[in-house]
Amino acid sequence: MRKESGYKTTLKEIFDGSVLTKGFLQRNAGMLLILVVCILVYIGNHYSVIMSLNQIDKLKTQLYDVKYEALTRSSELMHESRQSRIRLRVQEQGLGLEDALTPPYKIDIKE
């Protein structure tokens, strides 16, 4: 019988189970353990990165909403604090206040 060599032999040993009886696992147990640990660390790291990216997306959406709300509130405040709106509200409430017709005086104090 002719002995085969190369990857065909290796694949045949893996699929028929003879790799378990030839001591392959005992000889390479350390390397297989390191490989499994590396795979688990890679999967855990990938999961952590995905969770962080999801959190970043949520925070970006929340920041956009807060910025929009602050801009809206600022616009409303600017509209309500205009001189014409103040004059109208004073008249509506009947406070009896009027606009000054003369400019304010500047008082200089010499010490």
Number of Cβ within 10 Å of residue 86's Cβ equals 13
Residue 94 is predicted with a pLDDT of 85
pLDDT tens digit at each of 111 positions of the chain: 455 567 788 788 778 877 777 777 778 888 989 999 999 999 999 999 999 999 999 999 999 999 999 999 999 999 888 888 888 888 888 888 888 888 888 888 887
Can you give the residue ranges of every domain in the chain?
12-93
The residue with tokens 């952590």 is 48
Torsion on CA atoms 7, 9, 13, 18, rounded to nearest 10:
-140
What is the distance between the alpha carbons of residues 55 and 63, in angstroms, rounded to a whole number? Answer: 12
pLDDT at res. 2:
52
Q: Cα(84)–Cα(67) distance, rounded to whole angstroms?
A: 28
How far apart, in Å, are the Cα atoms of 106 and each of 13, 55, 109, 110, 111? 102, 57, 10, 13, 16
